[in-house]
Chains A and B, each alone.
Chain A
Amino acid sequence: MNPTVSPTLNEPVWFRRLLIGVGLAFLGLFLVLPLAAVLTEALRQGLGAYLNALHEPVALAAIKLTLIAAFIAVPLNLVFGVCAAWAIAKFEFRGKSLLITLIDLPFSVSPVIAGLIYVLIFGAQGWFGQWLFEHDVKIIFAVPGIVLATIFVTFPFVARELIPVMEEQGTAEEEAALTLGASGWQTFWRVTLPNIKWGLLYGVILCNARAMGEFGAVSVVSGHIRGETNTLPLHVEILYNEYNFVAAFACASLLALLALVTLAAKSFVEWRGQEQRATVPHLIPAAAPST
């Protein structure tokens, strides 16, 4: 699997150094520097102020709400993603390409619009606004709206990750399991799931990162009620607008930390998944090594 560079493509040393240098400078300017800025600003008035900012009841409420939204959105999208990927990769049916397009929709729609959709449907002036008001159900400017918006924007992550993995694997192993007498459920748990687990985990990590970091869509449906409907990203914005820089950057550092953990987890999963894929004998039977 080692990509050996052909000598004709081997650029002179100075050129390679230049390319690497440009790449690193770009990374430093746009990623490392802001990250460092977040941390220095957060710790400007010392560790005590930093911890205090995170201990605020309002900050804790924001953290809690962010976790709740992620805890609901991620498992739902996990189930949906597996179902959709399974249907798309293993069956032929009418409207398949439509389904694929629909799954991609949240990628192409602006998050603000995504939030607005829910306001238009469930808001006071929306389609179901009157009915919801009469039955005392709050969706917009409440937790359900935030969860809905989060689900919408994170919708494609798991399915998108799994479709190529499942398509590559085909259906032979599942068929083998069925001929051996396994039920559909046993086939899924014992054959399909182990085969897709790294792709699935990868999708879940990305999905989770987006769920916790989402700003636009959530902002529209949240109503920014302190301690009630503010997620962590919204809380950061409010603090910043109030010139409470230390607290704003302290909360932002949590999100930055989440990003770093996600990055590390993602790299690890990618590495494991590739390792597994490399050892999978799928479509290379003819060249099987004789031992």
Chain B
Amino acid sequence: MSIIIENVNKHFGGFHALQDVDLNIPTGELVALLGPSGCGKTSLLRIIAGLERPDTGSIRFNGEDATRQHVRERGVGFVFQHYALFHHMTVFDNVAFGLTVRPKAERPGKEEIREKVRELLRLVQLEFVADRYPNQLSGGQRQRIALARALAVEPKVLLLDEPFGALDANVRKELRRWLRRLHDEIHVTSVFVTHDQEEAMEVSSQIVVMNKGRIEQVGAPDEVYERPATAFVSRFLGSVNLFHGRVHSGWAHIGDLKAPAPEGAGLVSGAAAVVHLRPHEIDLATEPAGSIGVARVSSILTVGPMIRIELEREGEGREDGPVEVELTRERYLQAPLALGDRVFIRPRNLRVFAGT
């Protein structure tokens, strides 16, 4: 089922949590709402679910207006960050809950419910915990039960609020992959909220990057990473080194380097520009040609297969802090460095944004 969100605004007291949000989620996608805490991603998810009401705007499911619909009628499955399992019920009763609260006429028979619950527990690979209580399960197991419970009512949309936020790193990794596979299996339109860009990249087919109540960019994981629309997206999706310069008739000048800065997005002549350089998109050269600055090696660290080098800038841009460079071991060994070496920073790829 597709979800169309139009012109949604939401205030909490004086706080403008969502500002003019428009979003289109096609059927069957697995979409991540990604952003720092307080960016409005959870509010947006709760508005889609019907747990909050937007001040303005509309939500449409498959073209049908659902803005005024009650949560209970929307047919959404919601998975809470802290599971929200009914702790006085067994796992079986938790999963069966959505079926047993149906009006008598629509309620499946006892045997049918039992079969359905068994099938869902099989799906989340936890058949053996049916008779246990939630407090007897590990965090990862609880979250999978919460998912099974949400799926029991055959939701048209699955909404997950930081589903792996409360789990430790290993379990989180495993569950991510598992969720991805599950989605491939059942193909229900899914939206999940996360503040972890790695999680968003790994799990989702589309990423919606949010900041301060607005949507910054929507796109496939590759796209938002490779072609971030704003400086915020670029910084949020991975570490970047900053270089400051100025725009002159379509070119950004940073040190000796000229980078194309197409008009638009505030990049007019005379405006300040900032260049983002990811640590793995940098070459270290001994010649100044094509370099963006010069620096001295201040530390060399081996982190697994990567060599992480920290550079102390010389001349301009010192206040922007040290420059981080990541080289593969092979590349590093072609031209090893020593502490204190003077090197030229040559970008292999860069992004120019307006502003400082």
Q: Which residues of B contact A190 (CB under 8 A)?
A: 86, 97, 101
Which residue of chain B has its CB nearest to the CB of A276?
A: B88
Q: Which residues of B contact A180 (CB under 8 A)?
A: 97-98, 101, 149-150, 152-153
Q: Of residues 249 to 291 in A, which have CB atoms within 8 Å of B's CB atoms?
A: 276, 279-283, 285-286, 288-291
Q: Which residues of A contact B140 (CB under 8 A)?
A: 290
- Assess the B134–A281 pair: CB atoms within 8 A: yes
Chain A interface size range: 20 to 34
Q: Does A23 contact B (CB under 8 A)?
A: no
The listed residue (B80, B82, B135, B139) touching A279 by CB distance below 8 A is: B135
- Assess the A285–B97 pair: CB atoms within 8 A: no
Q: Does A25 contact B (CB under 8 A)?
A: no
Which residue of chain B has its CB nearest to the CB of A278?
A: B135
Cβ contacts A165-178/B at 8 Å (1 or 0 each): 00000001101111
With A173-B86, A285-B83, A291-B138 given, is the CB distance from A179 to B101 under 8 Å?
A: no
Cβ contacts A230-257/B at 8 Å (1 or 0 each): 0000000000000000000000000000
Which residue of chain A has its CB nearest to the CB of B80?
A: A172
- Assess the B72–A285 pair: CB atoms within 8 A: no
With A176-B84, A194-B88 given, is the CB distance from A182 to B138 under 8 Å?
A: no
The listed residue (B83, B85, B153) touching A181 by CB distance below 8 A is: B153
Which residue of chain B has its CB nearest to the CB of A287?
A: B139
Cα–Cα, bound, A179→B83 (Å): 13
Cα–Cα, bound, A177→B49 (Å): 13
Which residue of chain A has its CB nearest to the CB of B141?
A: A291
Q: Which residues of A contact B166 (CB under 8 A)?
A: 285-286, 288
- The smallest beta-carbon distance between A163 and chain B, in angstroms, is 20
Q: Which residues of A contact B70 (CB under 8 A)?
A: 178
Q: Does A186 contact B (CB under 8 A)?
A: yes
Q: Does A52 contact B (CB under 8 A)?
A: no
Q: Does A101 contact B (CB under 8 A)?
A: no
Q: Does A183 contact B (CB under 8 A)?
A: yes
Q: Does B51 contact A (CB under 8 A)?
A: yes
The listed residue (A177, A279, A289) touching B87 by CB distance below 8 A is: A279
- Assess the A179–B87 pair: CB atoms within 8 A: no
Q: Does B77 contact A (CB under 8 A)?
A: yes
- Assess the A281–B51 pair: CB atoms within 8 A: no
With A181-B98, A182-B72 given, is the CB distance from A175 to B80 under 8 Å?
A: yes
Q: Does A191 contact B (CB under 8 A)?
A: yes
Cβ contacts A205-221/B at 8 Å (1 or 0 each): 00000000000000000
Which residue of chain A has its CB nearest to the CB of B12?
A: A92
Q: Does B344 contact A (CB under 8 A)?
A: no
With most chain A CB atoms within 10 A of its CB, the pick from B70, B84, B140, B152 is B84
With A172-B82, A179-B72, A181-B153 given, is the CB distance from A281 to B98 under 8 Å?
A: no
- Assess the B51–A175 pair: CB atoms within 8 A: yes
Which residue of chain B has its CB nearest to the CB of A173?
A: B84
Cβ contacts B52-85/A at 8 Å (1 or 0 each): 0000000000000000001110001110111111
Q: Does A195 contact B (CB under 8 A)?
A: yes
- Assess the A290–B139 pair: CB atoms within 8 A: yes
Cα–Cα, bound, A288→B102 (Å): 32
Q: Which residues of A contact B138 (CB under 8 A)?
A: 288-291
Cα–Cα, bound, A176→B78 (Å): 7
Q: Does B123 contact A (CB under 8 A)?
A: no
Q: Which residues of A contact B97 (CB under 8 A)?
A: 177, 180, 182, 190
Q: Which residues of A contact B167 (CB under 8 A)?
A: 286
Which residue of chain A has its CB nearest to the CB of B168?
A: A286
Which residue of chain B has its CB nearest to the CB of A291?
A: B138
- Assess the B72–A178 pair: CB atoms within 8 A: yes
Cα–Cα, bound, A279→B70 (Å): 33
Which residue of chain A has its CB nearest to the CB of B82?
A: A285
- Assess the A172–B139 pair: CB atoms within 8 A: no
Q: Which residues of B contact A283 (CB under 8 A)?
A: 82
Q: Of residues 114 to 151 in B, which have CB atoms within 8 Å of A's CB atoms?
A: 133-142, 146, 149-150
With A286-B139, A291-B136 given, is the CB distance from A172 to B84 under 8 Å?
A: yes
A-B contact pairs, 9 of them (CB 8 A): A179-B71, A179-B77, A179-B78, A279-B87, A281-B85, A281-B142, A286-B168, A291-B138, A291-B141
Listed in ascending order, the chain A residues whose CB lies under 8 Å from chain B are 172-173, 175-183, 186, 190-191, 194-195, 276, 279-283, 285-286, 288-291
CB-CB nearest 10 A-B residue pairs: A288-B139, A180-B98, A172-B84, A285-B166, A290-B138, A179-B78, A182-B101, A176-B84, A194-B88, A178-B71
With A182-B97, A285-B82, A286-B167 known, 19 other A-B pairs at CB within 8 A are: A173-B85, A175-B51, A176-B146, A179-B71, A179-B77, A180-B97, A180-B98, A181-B72, A181-B153, A182-B98, A195-B88, A281-B87, A281-B135, A281-B142, A282-B82, A285-B81, A286-B139, A288-B138, A290-B139
